[in-house]
Amino acid sequence: MTMKKIINLFIAIATASLFGSCVKNELPVFTAPVVEFDAAAWNANGAGLTYPILTRVPGYGRAASTTADPLLTRRSPGIKRFRINLVGQQLPTDAEVFVTVFSTGTTAVVGRHYTQFSQSVKIPANTSFGEFAVEVLNPGTSSATPVDLNISLSGGNNGIKVSENYKIIGLRISQL
């Protein structure tokens, strides 16, 4: 085989592989607005549960740390904040997302372990985040048994749906 034939063969193979391997892929783009708890997306589910049970308040966009994050205890009462993520395309108007107590497994009592919280959270226009706040109270008497406050997202206006996998977080409030 001459050098000219080898070069022509190489050019033919390169051309065939260059143009023959190009497949136009239509990549899916997720645009439907969906909300989720940031803490649910970053933390593992509790044993036998479909949602995480948090003993600490995690920083935004990361899993709860056993050393750096504040504990959820009656000895550290105050407002605890949790981020709500808007997944998908940002909206041109303010969005409202609804938050409720998920009664299954909730043992905390409103007025004793936490204050009644706002049942709606605003996600400002052209942003991807809102913030849910709950105030943990010091009930005064100590008990070795922690209480759980489970919180659920239940949709919103503007056609916002809830992520089925990340719609609930559990807060374990230690009584010690």
**Position 149 in a domain:** yes
pLDDT tens column, 158-175: 778 999 999 999 998 887
Q: What percent of the chain has pLDDT over 70?
A: 89
Q: Indicate if the pLDDT at residue 132 is higher than 70.
A: yes
User: Which pLDDT value is given to residue 107?
Assistant: 92
CA of 63: how far to CAs of 82, 125, 126, in Å?
12, 27, 26
Mean pLDDT, the chain, integer: 85
pLDDT tens column, 75-124: 778 899 999 999 888 999 999 999 999 999 999 999 988 999 989 999 99
Q: Indicate if the pLDDT at residue 1 is higher than 70.
A: no
- pLDDT-based confidence at 7, cuts 50/70/90? confident
**pLDDT greater at residue 46 or residue 144:** 46
User: Which pLDDT value is given to residue 51?
Assistant: 93
**Position 70 in a domain:** yes
**Position 6 in a domain:** no
CA of 130: how far to CAs of 38, 159, 176, in Å?
10, 16, 31
CA of 140: how far to CAs of 59, 112, 113, 117, in Å?
28, 9, 10, 20
What letter represents residue 34's amino acid?
V
**Position 124 in a domain:** yes
CATH code for the domain of 131: 2.60.40.2030
> For residue 148, what are the domain limits?
28-173
**Position 45 in a domain:** yes
As for how many domains the chain has, the answer is: 1
- pLDDT-based confidence at 131, cuts 50/70/90? very high
User: Which pLDDT value is given to residue 10?
Assistant: 76
**Position 23 in a domain:** no
**Position 159 in a domain:** yes
**Position 116 in a domain:** yes
DSSP result, 45-98: PPTT-SS-EESB-PPTTSPPPTTTSPB-BTTS-EEEEEEEEEESSPPSS-EEEE
